Structure 1
Amino acid sequence: MTPRLIVSDLDGTLLGSDHVLHESTIEVLRALTEQGHQLTLASGRHYRDMKVFRDELGVPMHLISSNGAYTHAPDDTLLAAHHVDPEKARALIELERPANVRLSLYLDDAWYIDSESPGHLAMHAATGFVYQVVPASEMPVNGIGKVLYGGDPLELARIEASVRQIGGDDLHVTYSTPNSLEIMAGGVNKGVALAALLERLNLRADECLAFGDNLNDVEMLALAGEAHYMANAHPEMAGRLGRGRQIGHHHEAGVAELLRERFGL
């Protein structure tokens, strides 16, 4: 069988509801690597937050992090980094927002948040990657891969409208969950990062299988020759893609089950 590039989102896709890898998922991914297939993780998470899962799998893989802002090689070499324009970053940091909406920055090697947030800590407990509390007035404007606002979806919708006025084509705006509004530099998304990686690996898009569940996965799934979205995917996913196959639920190792079927494991 021709080797493929298999690329997957993490939360809501490859990880269970507990934000950890299923044993069956680990087994299947290791078996595919032994068959000569290549693996890539593509997530909104920070690179340092993702590499824990790569290390747990114990197989070489590229990492696309912060929704495409960074790409790392299997040996941790940084292959690409795209930062938000400093003036746009300043405007995003200073943007007026409700007190219960948290502001986060993903920098090259750190995660800053404007106030304590137990909910954020719980999601990342399995990796040990934690934020540093930094008041918005002291946050930097340089070297930012991603800006996040976390809070109620209705409040985020109002913030999104302001962000789009600030950014125009200079910012890419998406959601990883209904409670997480995420902003990168213009033209930065998982699909663009995947296209660059395919070129680096001398592979075609039709030699790639991709898995995702939310709006920040749309560009990646649209590019891949075989697009799969989860049973728990965002309700607009099918309409946004216009193609692709719906598979099982992330809490039931839907990706692993599809891969077993697809590759006869």
Structure 2
Amino acid sequence: MTYKIAFFDIDGTLVNEEKQVPQDTIAAIAELKENGVEPVIATGRAPYFFQPLAELLGIESFVSLNGAYVVYKGDPLYHRTIPLSSLEKLVEHAARHNHSLVFEGSETFFTNVENHPHVYEAVASLRVDQPGYDPDFWRNTDIYQAFLHCEAHEEPLYEGAFDDLRLVRWHPKAMDVLVAGGSKAQGIEAMLDRLGLTPADAVAFGDGLNDKEMLTHVGLGIAMGNSHKELLPYADYVTASVDEGGIRQGLRYAKLI
């Protein structure tokens, strides 16, 4: 099988815990492009969180916000926003439990609670600027994803509370909030349709819980050696860790470099 496109998660896949891209990964992506295979970012991050990384690697297309906002070479081709009615219920429910929220649009993001330590800790782990404060941002802008700031032992407070939203933990103090059924796989499918490709034509690399659907959707799903253990059963192949040449090893396994 000759794969034609490769999707890459960012955190724990293209970048390590220090949010640095290993030199071997930079070289492997360059070699992939030289061989005529399109590299695409597929991440839970918003576009304004990874522009320098995309420029460093020369990647022009992305599936962002866990599949909710997809752009191919500068052309937006897929949008999946959270309905206002769903956001209203989320805001009310989180407020009852004193949990802060961060709302992500396509161009910027804001929190509804000022100076909350959980917001600071979670966002700081991404090595990006902190969000501004605007409690009404979600009312006036298309929201593609939100962060709910609570700890794992508090998750039962939200179980069964929303049939139209999906919660996926990405940090000890934060969970992604998506439209029910939302995943990177949806965004990937939109891009494949645009390019006239099928899932069998694609390879995907990931390491986190939000990569399950992506790895099973494509022709070859590759989990990093540093992956969350619950992701491993969803992978066709487990490569080395991000700092041990995992991207190069995986691309070689796929016979793309």
Which bin holds the TM-score, normalised by the shorter protein? 0.7 to 0.9
The amino acid of 1:9's aligned partner reads D
CA distance in 2, matches of 1:232, 1:49: 22
Matched position secondary structure for 1:78:
strand
- Gap change, CA 1:176 and 1:120, over 3 Å in 2: closer
CA distance in 2, matches of 1:199, 1:53: 25
Confirm whether residue 47 of structure 1 aligns to residue 47 of structure 2.
yes
Deviations 1:41-89 (A, max 9, x none): 11111111122211111243x21111111001222x2211111110110
Matched position secondary structure for 2:12:
helix
Matched position secondary structure for 1:63:
strand
Q: State the partner residue of 2:242.
A: 250
- Gap change, CA 1:160 and 1:43, over 3 Å in 2: farther
Matched position secondary structure for 1:175:
strand
Q: State the partner residue of 1:83.
A: 81
Q: TM-score by structure 1 length?
A: 0.85
Q: State the partner residue of 1:204.
A: 198
Q: Is the 1:50–1:65 contact (alpha carbons within 8 Å) kept by the matching residues of 2?
A: no
CA distance in 1, matches of 2:42, 2:231: 17
Deviations 1:13-60 (A, max 9, x none): 221111121111111101111110011111111111122211111243
CA distance in 1, matches of 2:19, 2:54: 14
Residue correspondence of structure 1 range 64-143 to structure 2 within 5 A: 64-75=63-74, 77-95=75-93, 96=95, 98-99=97-98, 101-113=99-111, 114-116=113-115, 117-125=119-127, 128-135=128-135, 138-141=136-139, 142-143=141-142
Higher helix residue share:
1
Matched position secondary structure for 2:226:
coil
Structure 1 position 133, deviation (Å): 2.1
CA distance in 1, matches of 2:174, 2:59: 30
Segments of structure 1 that go 5 or more residues without pairing to the other structure are none
Segments of structure 2 that go 5 or more residues without pairing to the other structure are none
Task: Pick the aligned partner of 2:227 from 229, 233, 250.
Answer: 233
Structure 1 position 3, deviation (Å): 5.1
The amino acid of 1:12's aligned partner reads G
Matched position secondary structure for 2:214:
helix
Detail structure 1 runs of 4+ shifted over 6 Å in the superposition: none
Structure 1 position 196, deviation (Å): 1.5
